[in-house]
Copies of this chain bind each other. A is one copy, B any other.
Amino acid sequence: MSPKVGIAPVRRRQIVDATIRCLARDGYSHLTMNKVARRARVSQGILHYYFADKHAILVAAMQRVMEDLERRVVQEARGIHDPRRRLRALIHACLSVATEAREFWVVFVEFWGEMMHDRALMEINADLYTRERRLIGRIVTRGVRSGLFRRVRPEQAGGIILALVDGLSLQLTFDSKAFSLAEASRFCEEAIFRYLAKK
């Protein structure tokens, strides 16, 4: 790999990262190409050299955000064999996103609004959610097999758990006085383990 090869990916990454930071800081409706360029420390013109238009940058940014969120969750649950502990780790990873990786979480929520009117963005998200439901589903399946959890349909359980985690993250974010991250984690675990309990 000669050093020349890699300049394009570097620039793209630079631009996408700057976009995410802009979105996190000022919000979707205040995002301008100029701000992105300044934050990426490049000229305005270069943005259009690496991306067709603003929308293309947004799609790339959404993809990055999704990848990052997914990676976090996957990593957190990795290497843990006990299904209960693994689920607990996963819940904690998801909920802590809203507080510790706030930058990514905020941008994620902003994209929800845009997705409603943008098929490209919506599909990226639908794919992520399918993968996440399956990821959770696999953990649940193991728990079922090892006799820890009652028989449930894995993807259904995945949907329920994902929903609970998203909904609590929302409340953590925009209604921070309601409960703390620690409380949310506890409530969430309790609800999920009752949901999966054998009797």
Interface residues of A (CB under 8 A from B): 26-30, 106, 109-118, 122, 125-126, 129-130, 133, 155-156, 159-160, 162-168, 170-171, 173-175, 177-179, 183-184, 187-188, 190-191, 194-195, 197, 199
- Chain B nearest CB from A118 CB (Å) reads 8
* Total copies of this chain within the assembly: 4
Selected A-B contacts with CB under 8 Å, 17 pairs: A27-B114, A28-B28, A28-B29, A29-B114, A110-B116, A116-B173, A126-B178, A155-B178, A159-B178, A160-B164, A163-B163, A163-B167, A163-B168, A166-B170, A191-B195, A195-B195, A199-B199
Besides A27-B117, A30-B117, 19 new A-B residue pairs in contact (Cβ under 8 A), listed by A number: A27-B116, A27-B118, A28-B29, A110-B116, A111-B113, A116-B173, A126-B177, A130-B175, A130-B178, A159-B178, A159-B179, A160-B187, A160-B188, A162-B167, A163-B168, A163-B170, A164-B164, A165-B167, A166-B170
Q: A110: which B residues are within 8 A, CB to CB?
A: 113, 116
Q: Which residue of B lies closest to A160 (CB)?
A: B191
Q: A116: which B residues are within 8 A, CB to CB?
A: 27, 106, 109-110, 173-174
